[in-house]
Structure 1
Amino acid sequence: MRAAVLYENNEIRAEQVEQAACGADEVRIKVMAAGICGSDIHKMQTRWKYPLPAVMGHEFSGVIVEKGADVAHVEVGSRVAGIPLVPCGKCEYCQAGEFSLCEDYRMVGSHFYGAFAENVVMKATNVIDIGDMDFEEGAMLEPLAVAMHGVLGIQPELGDTAVVFGIGTIGILVVQCLQLAGVKDIIAVDISDGKLAEARKFGCRYTINPREDNLAEKVLEYTGGRGADIALECAGSKVTQEQCLRVTKKKGKIGYLGIAYADVLLPEEAFENIFRRELTLKGFWNSYSAPFPGEEWTTSIAFVNQGRIQLKPLISHRYKVEEVGDAFAMILGREEDYNKVMILPQEE
Structure 2
Amino acid sequence: MKAVQFPAVGEVRMVELPDPTPGPGEVLVRVAAAGICHTDVHILHGNFPARYPVVPGHEFAGTVVAAGDGVDPSWVGRRVAVDPNVPCGTCPACKENRQNLCPNLEAYGVTLNGGFAELATVKLTNAYLIGDLPFKVAAMAEPLACVVHGLNLLRLEPASHALIFGAGPMGLLLMQALKHAGAARATLVDLHHRRLEIGLELGADATLVDADGLQELAPEHGRFDLVADATGVPAVVERLPRYVRDGGKILYFGVCPPDAEIRLKPYDVYRRDLQIIGSFSLRQTLAPALRLLASGAVRVEPLISHTFQLDEFEHWIQQVGKAETMKLQAVLE
TM-score, structure 1 normalization: 0.91
The match for 1:321 is: 310
The match for 2:292 is: 303
Distance 2:314 2:124 in 1: 30
Q: Write the deviation string for residues 269-313 of structure 1: whole angstroms up to 9, x where unpaired.
A: xx543122110111111111xxxx2xx322221221122211111
User: 1:20 Cα deviation (Å)?
Assistant: 2.3
The match for 2:222 is: 226
Gaps (5+ residues) in structure 2?
A: none
Determine whether 1:170 maps to 2:159.
no
Distance 2:93 2:72 in 1: 27
Q: Is the 8 A contact 1:220 1:227 kept in 2?
A: no
User: 1:321 Cα deviation (Å)?
Assistant: 1.0
Distance 1:86 1:38 in 2: 20
1:1-348 alignment, distance < 5 Å: 1-47=1-47, 49-72=49-72, 75-210=75-210, 214=212, 217-219=213-215, 221-261=217-257, 262-266=259-263, 268=265, 271-288=266-283, 293=284, 296-331=285-320, 334=322, 336-346=323-333
User: 1:155 Cα deviation (Å)?
Assistant: 1.3
User: 1:219 Cα deviation (Å)?
Assistant: 3.4
Q: Which moved more, 1:189-198 or 1:77-86?
A: 189-198
User: 1:143 Cα deviation (Å)?
Assistant: 0.2
User: 1:52 Cα deviation (Å)?
Assistant: 2.4
Distance 1:185 1:73 in 2: 48
User: 1:151 Cα deviation (Å)?
Assistant: 1.6
User: 1:37 Cα deviation (Å)?
Assistant: 0.7
Aligned residues: 332
Q: Write the deviation string for residues 97-116 of structure 1: whole angstroms up to 9, x where unpaired.
A: 11111121101011111110
For 1:242, what is the secondary structure of its paired residue? helix
Q: Is the 8 A contact 2:83 2:286 kept in 1?
A: no
Distance 1:80 1:140 in 2: 12
Q: Is the 8 A contact 1:163 1:228 kept in 2?
A: yes
Q: What amino acid sits opposite 1:123 in the alignment?
A: K
User: 1:220 Cα deviation (Å)?
Assistant: 5.2
Percent identity reads: 29
Distance 2:288 2:22 in 1: 30
User: 1:74 Cα deviation (Å)?
Assistant: 6.0
Distance 1:49 1:171 in 2: 24
Q: What amino acid sits opposite 1:172 in the alignment?
A: L
User: 1:345 Cα deviation (Å)?
Assistant: 2.8
Q: What amino acid sits opposite 1:307 in the alignment?
A: G
Distance 1:272 1:242 in 2: 15
Distance 1:90 1:19 in 2: 31
User: 1:94 Cα deviation (Å)?
Assistant: 0.6
Q: What amino acid sits opposite 2:111 in the alignment?
A: H
Distance 2:264 2:93 in 1: 34
Distance 2:250 2:273 in 1: 11
Q: Write the deviation string for residues 18-49 of structure 1: whole angstroms up to 9, x where unpaired.
A: 23221121110000000001111122123264
Q: What amino acid sits opposite 2:313 in the alignment?
A: V
TM-score, structure 2 normalization: 0.95
User: 1:11 Cα deviation (Å)?
Assistant: 2.2
For 2:320, what is the secondary structure of its paired residue? helix
Distance 1:24 1:202, change over 3 A: same
User: 1:221 Cα deviation (Å)?
Assistant: 4.3
Q: Is the 8 A contact 1:55 1:117 kept in 2?
A: yes
User: 1:184 Cα deviation (Å)?
Assistant: 0.8
Gaps (5+ residues) in structure 1?
A: none
Distance 1:232 1:99, change over 3 A: same
For 1:46, what is the secondary structure of its paired residue? coil
Q: Is the 8 A contact 2:43 2:110 kept in 1?
A: no
Q: Write the deviation string for residues 104-139 of structure 1: whole angstroms up to 9, x where unpaired.
A: 110101111111000101111111111111101110
